[in-house]
Amino acid sequence: MWAAFAACCVCLLGCDREEEDPSPDAPASVLPGVAWGTDGTAERVPPEAWADFAGQIANSLDGVALHRTDGALVLAIEHRRFEPIVLSPGPARRLTGRSALDGPATIVLGSGFVSEFQSLLPLGLLQIDGEIRSPVSRHGYTRILGVGDGRLTVLARREYHRGLLESAMQVGPGVVENGALDISPRERNLPAYFRAFAATCTARDLAGITTRPMHLFDLGNELLALFASAGFDCPEVANLSGDREALLGLRAGGQAFLAGHPDSAKAALVAFRERAATGA
């Protein structure tokens, strides 16, 4: 299936390229989206149609539901069906959104923060299966997004210690903390970016991406409104690396959809895979 997908990408003049921004240093004004079907046919999808393609796949997954705010897509992922993992590249294995979906992941979210000068050098903590690949930075990003005992966790940086989580990455800032908005209105004075974010909730986790550049203050308010209308109890929301690094993808039944650059190399991604069946 992936070979056909790659061939179709060539026909589409590159799945991993969008209309060029005026300056590569300016925030992205558009992100690519790609969907493909069981026959391997790929289709470029503009942001205004992301919800339609993602929703079709989400509807076929038990334990996944798509929600929308004015500026974001949000996947609600039930604990009973899916478990989170943190992915990173191996010695001879390149990690991309597309390769993550080609493995055990049903849903993939990114990305981890990296150095401006070395695109695969993590900024701050990266811990994989207990191994510290990059230490905690005591400056900058204020949240730790990690996995412990099969659950996704968001911690304040000061709360982290090595034995607390199996895998983790440093992210931030926190958008919601203890159920309340944790972003100042002054954040609107900064540039708006495409955003990727994760939330920990009772009975489910959330993974999301914005469909346009947004300020975190506005995103946080939209998410709190969603939580209230959907009845979600979500005490923590953390921002992941955004702009051209933002990524959300899902697959089911030979179909898949990716919002963001599917083939750009990543230092770390969060993914969700189906839990192993228990009992006879």
pLDDT for the residue numbered 2: 42
- Identify whether the C-beta of residue 45 lies closer than 8 Å to the C-beta of residue 35: yes
**In this structure, which amino acid lies at residue 136?**
V
pLDDT for the residue numbered 279: 53
pLDDT for the residue numbered 252: 96
Model confidence at 19, pLDDT cuts 50, 70, 90, reads very low
pLDDT above 70 for 144:
yes
pLDDT, mean over the chain: 90
Model confidence at 11, pLDDT cuts 50, 70, 90, reads very low
Q: Count how many residues are written for the chain.
A: 280
The pLDDT tens digits of the residues spanning 20-63 come to: 455 667 899 999 999 988 888 889 999 999 999 999 999 999 99
Domain extents in the chain: 2-17+29-274
The pLDDT tens digits of the residues spanning 249-279 come to: 999 999 999 999 999 999 999 999 999 876 5
pTM: 0.91
Block residue for tokens 């390149």 = 94
The pLDDT tens digits of the residues spanning 169-199 come to: 999 999 999 999 999 999 999 999 999 999 9
pLDDT for the residue numbered 259: 98
Straight-line distance from the first to the last Cα atom of the chain, in angstroms, rounded to the nearest whole number: 32
Tokens of 276: 């192993």
Question: What is the percent of the chain with per-residue pLDDT over 70, rounded to a whole number?
Answer: 90
The pLDDT tens digits of the residues spanning 65-76 come to: 999 999 999 999
Of 82, 81, 38, 30, the closest CA to residue 56 belongs to 38
Distance CA 98, CA 87 (A): 13
